[in-house]
Amino acid sequence: MMRTCLALGLTAVLALPAMAQQAATPPAPSWAQGRPDGMAASPLAPHAPRMTVTAPDQVPVAALRVPQGFKVELWASGAPGARMMAEGPNGTVFVGTRTIGRVYAVTDQGGQRQVRTIAQRLNQPNGVAVRDGNLYVVAINRVLRYDGIEGKLDAPGEPADLTQAFALSPEEHHGWKFLAFGPDGRLYMNRGVPCNVCEFDRDRFALILSFNPDGSGQRIEAKGVRNSMGFDWHPQTRELWATNNGRDWAGNDTPEDTLLRIRRPGEDHGFPYCAANWQDPFMQPGRPCSEFVAPAALLGPHTASLGMRFYTGTAFPEAYRNQIFIARRGSWNREQLSGYDVVVAKLDAQGNVTGIEPFLTGLRDEANNRFLGRPVDVLVRRDGSLLVSDEQNGAIYRITHGQ
């Protein structure tokens, strides 16, 4: 079992033709890895993405709910597949995507938003980050830098290609990246595991990595992190915190997604042996959770907890300062939908999570087990407002407080 999983894990997506011809009776395909017999007939599969423009009057903004005193409005639309966000020094919001291969730039134009496509035909350019006015875009196995981007949004020209220096891995499965600059000036990204659950080289996959901005000096910041699609640094302690996606096919309520607090670089968070304080029986021989760092909080089963940021603004009430907003894109591997919202992780002065509270709701229609949208990232703008990207509707919402 373990040997076949190893082979599958590392080649699941590359499917090297030579090997493919050899394997006469392959094991369960990797999309069904770790799937118990009782689930063999489950029809659950990833939801269809929407890659066409959703007209503003079709965006479900009227369904959105935020706590008393807050206001939510449609900030931008017409950006199909909108995912991760980063703000430039002049206030341009850059937006990465996956399936549609584009990067958008959203600017304020006299109270209206203009959405430009500044890059396209890329393989899942999910990661965007800005430093010194330069935009970094990371696709699967590609790193691009657009210098002085805000001065040339209409004609971005050819980016500097840093791909070789970063030497990323070509795996497509969980190969898209979240990207951010740390307070140390280094560029951080995840490297997900190329399977659902499998044995793999734990120094090569399921990592959070950091690099010098030119791609040199790779360092492992966290190990055993199945796939993190969001991280940020505590504004005071500068500790790295990250969301992490639990695996599929272990049941409706197992395991939960997690919020990780990474106190020391290189710490091991347990995947594939342990996730969310649950020792995965799929791994034989296993390793107990006591060998690994425990998560700071649990974020619900299959919720797809992705983008997260500490609230660093002053426009929201004091109680939100240095708390974490987390976008939960929503489940597919669960009979009753979970997630499809934005929650707040409440931290006390010691950095212990004291609770996970709902913040933006309304996109999950519980009664009909339907969803209306899929929040992927949150971004605190310099004016203290909070942006939320909705991948399904190609839209960005803006949340403000008071008037």
Partner 1 sequence: MRPGFLLLAAALLAAAFPFGPARAAGDAARGRALAEEHSCGGCHGPQGVSGQPNIPSLAGQPADFITLQMILFREVLRDAPPMPDLAQGLSDQQIEDLAAHYAALPSGPAEDRGPRDAGRFHDGALLAERLRCGICHLPDYRGRMQIPRLAGQREEYLAGAMAQYRDGRRHGSDTNMNAVMYGVTDAEIAALAHYMAQQ
| Residue 21 binds which entry of partner 1, ligand HEC, none, CB below 5-8 Å type-dependent | partner 1
Nearer to ligand HEC, 31 or 278 (CB): 31
Q: Give the one residue of 3, 52, 110, 157 binding partner 1; rule: CB under 8 A.
A: 52
Q: What angle do CA 328, 332, 336 make, to 5 degrees?
A: 90
Nearer to ligand HEC, 250 or 380 (CB): 250
Q: How far apart are CA 345 and CA 232, in angstroms?
A: 13
Q: What angle do CA 82, 86, 90 make, to 5 degrees?
A: 120
Q: Is 8 in the site for partner 1 (CB under 8 A)?
A: yes
Q: Give the one residue of 6, 13, 28, 31 binding ligand HEC; rule: CB under 6 A.
A: 31
Nearest distance from C-beta of residue 314 to partner 1, angstroms: 35
Nearest distance from C-beta of residue 185 to ligand HEC, angstroms: 39
Of residues 307 through 346, those in contact with ligand HEC by CB under 6 A are: none
Nearer to partner 1, 45 or 155 (CB): 45
Nearer to partner 1, 213 or 373 (CB): 373
Size of the site for partner 1 (CB under 8 A): 63
| Residue 165 binds which entry of partner 1, ligand HEC, none, CB below 5-8 Å type-dependent | none
Show the binding pattern over residues 284-323: x = contacts partner 1 (CB under 8 A), - = does not: ----------------------------------------
Nearer to ligand HEC, 18 or 45 (CB): 45
What are the residues whose beta carbons fall under 8 Å from the beta carbon of 182, sequence distance 6 or more? 188, 210, 233, 240
Of residues 215 through 274, those in contact with partner 1 by CB under 8 A are: 251-252
Nearest distance from C-beta of residue 31 to ligand HEC, angstroms: 5
Nearer to ligand HEC, 30 or 228 (CB): 30
Q: Is 51 in the site for partner 1 (CB under 8 A)?
A: yes
| Residue 349 binds which entry of ligand HEC, partner 1, none, CB below 5-8 Å type-dependent | none
Nearest distance from C-beta of residue 251 to partner 1, angstroms: 7
Size of the site for ligand HEC (CB under 6 A): 2
Of residues 117 through 156, those in contact with ligand HEC by CB under 6 A are: none
Q: Is 45 in the site for ligand HEC (CB under 6 A)?
A: yes
Give the distance, in angstroms, between the CA of residue 259 and the centroid of all CA atoms in the same chain: 12
Residues that bind ligand HEC in the complex, under the rule CB under 6 A? 31, 45
Residues that bind partner 1 in the complex, under the rule CB under 8 A? 8, 11-15, 17, 19-21, 23-24, 26, 29-32, 36-55, 58, 60, 80, 98-102, 120-121, 123, 172-173, 251-252, 332, 335, 337, 368-373, 392-393
